Chains A and B, each alone.
Chain A
């Protein structure tokens, strides 16, 4: 018997779960071919539910679901493995990625670049890779995947980027070697950084630092003034507890 809207063996990740009714769970998932969607996992909160140890964020799963409408019904979720559970600062970065995806992607909008980008970012978080570059690469990749990629190969006058010069960058405009006429929001980046970003190369500390100011600007534009909870909340908590070290700064959970 075939069910309407049945999708089988679809790779995906859990982004967020929330309790639903007595024993069920509403799960936001990011899937490879169907984008982000909401599934209801029936009985997933029962004490002995098998799904309990499977529907965890930051883990590759194989999902099957059926149904029509906004919320589909999860049929099965199979563990794919390969990643240890995140903890510490990488876990915080994982929440940051998930919040970005929840806020910036539309439901059921399959963005082909997003799934591998997220998978690689999680690999980076789980491995010993340098967090700054993992976070920057994900942020830039997300902006690109959403179609807001800044022009990085030539300046506003159509000339190629020169590594030694500095360029004024702002959302929706090409890098400009000349200062803008009026006070507009933007950041100055070196040509070398622009070239590194075009090559997706974040090995240099200067690239990471300058890229951070750019991604912060681009994401703030996309988030339309409503800040993310992950960085803000944790910072607020840290302030309230009068802590001085080891807590994330605003809008960047990757900094030490």
Chain B
């Protein structure tokens, strides 16, 4: 027996979500239709609204409902520092840490040659334009310390080097409050390789 076409369409549509295969999609569809129709309607509206209202901030590339996001529109932020992060979630975490008063650029991903994601896909051309607006003096790279995040940071460094900008990278090493005995070995090893001189 075949499903009605609209049910099949819903199942097929749910499969676009990462990690959702045919079985999970079918389970979700039955749940939405049978157990939680109000939730289904809410979901449908939310997706529609988000698609309609959300755009990328023209300065920092994060999601925003206005051409300029709240942060970029805030004139009290430092205009001479630009922090580059991979995803909007990273931006939120940076903000929660309350350590940075400058502005951001969100790549919306990372360069990953093995997955076919190149510099264009992470908007390095837009980052270049943003960083060269004349006000930015320092670009702080806060991409992840994964191999791909590190590669992305390297590419941005090569891109911005020789353009009169200071490029820095967030530090890597022992976590705050970390104890040598319990920290994972890779972190400990790298913190030794990247140790700082305290006095000459």
A binds B: yes
Q: Which residues of A line the B interface, CB within 8 A? A: 16, 18-22, 50, 52-54, 56-59, 79, 81, 84-88, 91-92, 94-95, 98-99, 102, 229-230, 233-234, 236-238, 240-241, 243, 246-247
Structural contact, A233 and B116, CB atoms closer than 8 A = yes
Interchain CA distance A19-B112 in the complex, whole Å: 13
Interchain CA distance A85-B113 in the complex, whole Å: 18
Interchain CA distance A161-B150 in the complex, whole Å: 45
Given A230-B113, A234-B118, A241-B119, are A54 and B185 also a contact pair (CB < 8 Å)? yes
**Chain B positions within 8 Å of A81 at CB level:** 185-186, 189
Say which residue of A50, A86, A91, A243 sits within 8 Å of B159 (CB atoms).
Answer: A243
Given A58-B147, A87-B154, A92-B151, are A240 and B125 also a contact pair (CB < 8 Å)? yes
Say which residue of B18, B114, B146, B158 sits within 8 Å of A99 (CB atoms).
Answer: B114
Interchain CA distance A87-B184 in the complex, whole Å: 21
Query: Please, could you name 7 A-B residue pairs with CB atoms under 8 Å apart, sorted by A?
Result: A79-B189, A102-B114, A237-B111, A237-B124, A240-B119, A241-B119, A241-B128
**Chain B positions within 8 Å of A247 at CB level:** 158
Structural contact, B151 and A95, CB atoms closer than 8 A = yes
- Interface flag for B187 (CB, 8 Å): yes
Q: Contacts A53-B184, A237-B120 known; list 11 others, CB within 8 Å.
A: A19-B19, A20-B19, A54-B185, A54-B186, A56-B146, A79-B184, A84-B193, A85-B150, A86-B147, A87-B150, A229-B116
Interchain CA distance A21-B193 in the complex, whole Å: 34
Interface residues of B in 100-121 (CB under 8 A from A): 111, 113-120
Q: For residue B183, which residue of chain A has the nearest CB?
A: A53
Interchain CA distance A73-B190 in the complex, whole Å: 28
Q: For residue B153, which residue of chain A has the nearest CB?
A: A87
Structural contact, B125 and A241, CB atoms closer than 8 A = yes
Tell me how far the C-beta of A57 lies from the nearest C-beta in chain B, rounded to whole angstroms.
5
**Chain B positions within 8 Å of A240 at CB level:** 119-120, 125
Q: For residue B151, which residue of chain A has the nearest CB?
A: A91
**Chain B positions within 8 Å of A237 at CB level:** 111, 118-120, 124, 155
**Chain B positions within 8 Å of A230 at CB level:** 113-114
Structural contact, B114 and A53, CB atoms closer than 8 A = no
Structural contact, A79 and B185, CB atoms closer than 8 A = yes
Structural contact, B124 and A84, CB atoms closer than 8 A = no
Taking residues whose C-beta sits less than 8 angstroms from the other chain, chain B's interface range is 20 to 34
Q: For residue B120, which residue of chain A has the nearest CB?
A: A240
Structural contact, A50 and B118, CB atoms closer than 8 A = no
- Interface flag for B161 (CB, 8 Å): yes
B13-48 contact mask (Cβ, 8 Å, vs A): 1 or 0: 000001100000000000000000000000000000
**Chain B positions within 8 Å of A50 at CB level:** 184
Interchain CA distance A91-B155 in the complex, whole Å: 11
**Chain B positions within 8 Å of A102 at CB level:** 114
Q: For residue A247, which residue of chain B has the nearest CB?
A: B158
Say which residue of B19, B115, B190 sits within 8 Å of A84 (CB atoms).
Answer: B190
**Chain B positions within 8 Å of A241 at CB level:** 119, 124-125, 128, 159
The 6 nearest A-B residue pairs measured at CB? A237-B119, A79-B185, A233-B118, A84-B193, A53-B184, A230-B113
**Chain B positions within 8 Å of A19 at CB level:** 18-19
Structural contact, A53 and B113, CB atoms closer than 8 A = no
Interchain CA distance A58-B155 in the complex, whole Å: 19
**Chain B positions within 8 Å of A54 at CB level:** 184-186
Tell me how far the C-beta of B122 lies from the nearest C-beta in chain A, rounded to whole angstroms.
9
Interchain CA distance A52-B116 in the complex, whole Å: 23
Given A56-B147, A233-B113, A234-B118, are A92 and B186 also a contact pair (CB < 8 Å)? no
Interchain CA distance A243-B118 in the complex, whole Å: 15
Interchain CA distance A206-B117 in the complex, whole Å: 34
**Chain B positions within 8 Å of A229 at CB level:** 113-114, 116
Structural contact, A234 and B119, CB atoms closer than 8 A = yes
Say which residue of B19, B146, B185, B186 sits within 8 Å of A21 (CB atoms).
Answer: B19
**Chain B positions within 8 Å of A21 at CB level:** 19
Structural contact, A79 and B186, CB atoms closer than 8 A = yes
Say which residue of B114, B116, B150, B193 sits within 8 Å of A91 (CB atoms).
Answer: B150
